[in-house]
Amino acid sequence: MSFLGFGKQKDSTPPSAAERYAQAGREAMELGDFVRAVEYFRTALEYAPLSRELRGELSDALLEKALASERKKAPRQNRKSAVLPEVKSEPPRARPRKRPNGPRRGEMRAAREALSRALHSPGMAAADAAEEAALTLAAAETPRPMPRRRTRRGGGMGKSSRRRMWTMGAIYGGALMILAGAAHGLISRAINDAALPEVTEVRTIPAGLASVLEEAGELLGDKQPQKAFVLLEGVLDDYPDFEKTIESAMVQALRAEGSAHLSDRDYEKAADAFERATRVQPLTTDNWIDLARALREGGRTVQASKPATAKAMLERASNAYQRALDVEAANPAALYGIAQVHLFLDERNAAVSQLKRLVAAAPDSPEARKAERDLEQLTGRRS
């Protein structure tokens, strides 16, 4: 079967979930979408909480998000003239004060000031004050009844009087509608600000847990994943609110241990480490794919010497790939892995069916391109 690329050539390892989310966060940073970048980096850290690089990228994204929000809140400064910088603008002339037109002008001014003070103060009391000020302002804006004028001898009003009455009614009616809409929006905003208090966005990791995560990361860097796993497992019950974070770090240590055993071609120990990772996080696709890869390679190596053991390991690999597909139905690595298992078991028709399914489900993936080459060799024609 070496003509299909299943011999000495190793499969290209697909990117993990943490790498995929981290790449999405970097692309969002380049586009200036810092809110989405923060979400992506946080999700990536859930899969790899011991990564210092991801922590630094998350810190950069949070800083850029905060700076962007501050820039939006900053008031616009007065721009100086770039064409005539030497010409100084003259001070504005004092406009003559208009003579007050009755007592209603003072009432309207006081109501506007009360409305402004109420909108700049949080709480339900401010909402009540805003509503009262808006009602006062609306009442002050209501026109007084026009004095009766002497009618003409023939009875009724003249054309000019009727036209003036309709014009004034339209102006006052429109003004009242605009004022009512503005007051309703301002009151709603004040009530929402009082009913929805600001929630802290970032949950701080306790200092004790942070030091444990740091120590576990150093152990992984020193290629001691077993010690890192034992260290993390010991604090799992001490921080119940951060159980997912600790479990993700434990899975990261187990996968590092399994990868080390794979490099040493100790497939049984590698499968054991990856299987423990699936027990901690059974809904993570990469855990099942790593387990299936270890079982598949282990079964392939002993296929000639121990056919019964090889068949059992290959069937376990097929089940692990199927569990990955239960989590992610169109995962190309799992689909291609099942096809390889069928070929190792001399199940040619089942392998062809899986390869066609892969090409249809993920046509743009690297696995689909390999599947097309395999199909051409197996069937003698292009898919």
> Is 119 among the domain residues?
yes
3-class SS string, 226-280: HHHHHHHHHCCCCCHHHHHHHHHHHHHHHHHHHHHHHHCCCHHHHHHHHHHHHHH
Is the per-residue pLDDT at 55 higher than 60? Answer: yes
219 is a domain residue: no
Q: What is the pLDDT of residue 110?
A: 64
Separation of first and last alpha carbons in the chain: 20
Q: Are 366 and 374 in contact (CB under 8 A)?
A: no
CATH number for the domain harbouring residue 61: 1.25.40
Average pLDDT on 283-311 reads 92
Identify the CA nearest to 343 among candidates 358, 355, 356: 355
Same domain? 47 vs 125? no
**pLDDT computed for residue 379 by the predictor:** 83
Task: Say which residue, 216 or 47, is predicted with more confidence.
Answer: 216
- Note whether residue 327 is domain-resident: no
Q: What is the pLDDT of residue 177?
A: 64
User: What is the rounded distance in angstroms from the CA atom of residue 195 to the CA atom of residue 124?
Assistant: 8
Give the number of other CB atoms < 10 A from CB of residue 369.
Answer: 12
Same domain as 112, residue 56:
no
Looking at the fold, whether 188 and 113 belong to one and the same domain comes out as yes
Q: Identify the top-confidence range among 4-8, 11-15, 170-174, 312-316.
A: 312-316
Residue 9 lies in a domain: no
pLDDT confidence of residue 10: 42
**Tens digits of residue pLDDT in 240-271:** 888 888 999 999 999 999 999 999 999 999 99
Q: Are 30 and 228 in contact (CB under 8 A)?
A: no
* Domain annotation covers residue 178: yes
pLDDT exceeds cutoff 90 at 279: yes
Asked if 57 and 122 sit in the same domain, the reply is no
pLDDT of residue 106: 62
Region 167-191: what's the mean pLDDT? 61
- Stretch 192-207: mean pLDDT: 55
Last residue of a domain, one of 192, 222, 250: 192
Q: How far apart are CA 185 and CA 83, in angstroms?
A: 41
Q: Is the dihedral of CA 25, 29, 34, 36 positive or negative?
A: negative
Q: Looking at the predicted structure, is the pLDDT value of residue 35 above 70?
A: yes
**199 within some domain:** no
Report how far residue 232's alpha carbon sits from residue 249's, in angstroms, rounded to the nearest whole number: 7
| Number of domains the chain contains | 2
> Within 48-158, where are the H helices?
52-73, 104-119, 124-141
pLDDT of the residue at 87: 45
With contact defined as beta carbons under 8 Å apart, do 286 and 274 qualify?
no
Q: Which residue has the higher pLDDT, 95 or 206?
A: 206
109-148 per-position pLDDT tens digit: 666 666 555 545 444 454 455 555 555 555 554 455 555 5
Q: Which residue has the higher pLDDT, 180 or 277?
A: 277
CA–CA gap between residue 361 and residue 353 (Å, rounded): 12
pLDDT-derived band at 202 (thresholds 50, 70, 90) equals very low
Q: Can you give the pTM of this predicted structure?
A: 0.55
Nearest to 65 by CA among 40, 46, 44: 40
The number of C-alpha atoms within 13 Å of 380 and in the hemisphere containing its C-beta is 0
Instruction: Say if 134 falls within a structural domain.
Output: yes
Q: Examine residue 84 and state whether it is found in any structural domain, yes or no.
A: no
What span, in angstroms and rounded, lies between the C-alpha atoms of 226 and 262? 15
Mean of the per-residue pLDDT values for the chain? 75
Q: Token pair for residue 2?
A: 């070496």
More confident residue, 129 or 222: 222
Whether residue 118 is found in the same domain as residue 188: yes
Residue 192 pLDDT level (bands cut at 50, 70, 90):
low
By CB neighbour count within 10 A (0-12 exposed, 13-18 middle, 19+ buried), where does 72 fall?
Answer: exposed
pLDDT greater than 90 at residue 21: no
Q: What is the pLDDT of residue 304?
A: 87
Domain that holds residue 48: 19-73
Last residue of a domain, one of 73, 95, 117: 73
* Span 81-118, pLDDT tens digits: 444 444 445 555 555 555 444 445 566 566 666 655 55
Tokens of 134: 């808006």
Could you tell me if 112 and 68 lie in one domain?
Answer: no
Q: Among residues 160, 192, 224, which one ends one of the domains?
A: 192
Is the per-residue pLDDT at 296 higher than 90? Answer: yes
Query: Where does the pLDDT of residue 319 fall: very low under 50, low under 70, confident under 90, or very high at 90 and above?
Result: very high
Q: Which residue has the tokens 């743009």?
A: 364
Half-sphere exposure of 349 (CA within 13 A, CB side): 0
Determine the pLDDT at residue 159.
Answer: 59
Q: How many CB atoms lie within 10 A of CB 15?
A: 13
Q: Residue 375 above 70 pLDDT?
A: yes
Helices (H) and strands (E) in the chain, counts: 15, 0
**pLDDT for the residue 254:** 94
